Structure 1
Amino acid sequence: MPAKSAAQQKAAGAALSAKRGDTPKSKLKGASISMEKSMSEDQLEELAHTRRKNKPEHVGDD
């Protein structure tokens, strides 16, 4: 499941870094906190490695 926006991809990257222990969990903000708790490392890696080119920064709630 690729990221739908650049913001989602960035949050997944931050959560993945915390899950791996590279970044302290206390540094996480917003969506990355819940992503780190609820998603596996494989799921986070898939989202985090999505290419950002041509992705909107945010996706609306349509």
Structure 2
Amino acid sequence: MPATSKAQQKAAGAALSAKRGETRPSELKGASRDMYESMSEEELDDLASTPREDLPDRASDD
């Protein structure tokens, strides 16, 4: 499942870093904290590895 925005991709990267023990989970905020708690490392890796060039900064509410 690819990320739908640069913000989502960045949040997934932060959550993935915490899952791998590279950063502390207590440093996560907002969406990245929710992702850390509810998604597997594999799911986070999928989102975080989405190429950024064609993504909007934020997802639309549509």
TM-score range, shorter chain: over 0.9
Counterpart in the other structure of 1:28: 28
- Alignment RMSD: 0.6
Structure 1: gaps spanning 5 or more residues: none
5 Å-filtered alignment, 1:8-47, equals 8-47=8-47
Q: 2: distance between equivalents of 1:46 and 1:8?
A: 11
Q: TM-score, normalised by structure 1?
A: 0.96
Q: Which runs of 4+ in 1 moved over 6 A?
A: none
Pairwise CA distance, 1:41: 0.3
1:53 aligns with 2:53: yes
Matched pairs, number? 62
Structure 2: gaps spanning 5 or more residues: none
Q: 2: distance between equivalents of 1:17 and 1:59?
A: 22
Pairwise CA distance, 1:35: 0.2
Q: TM-score, normalised by structure 2?
A: 0.96
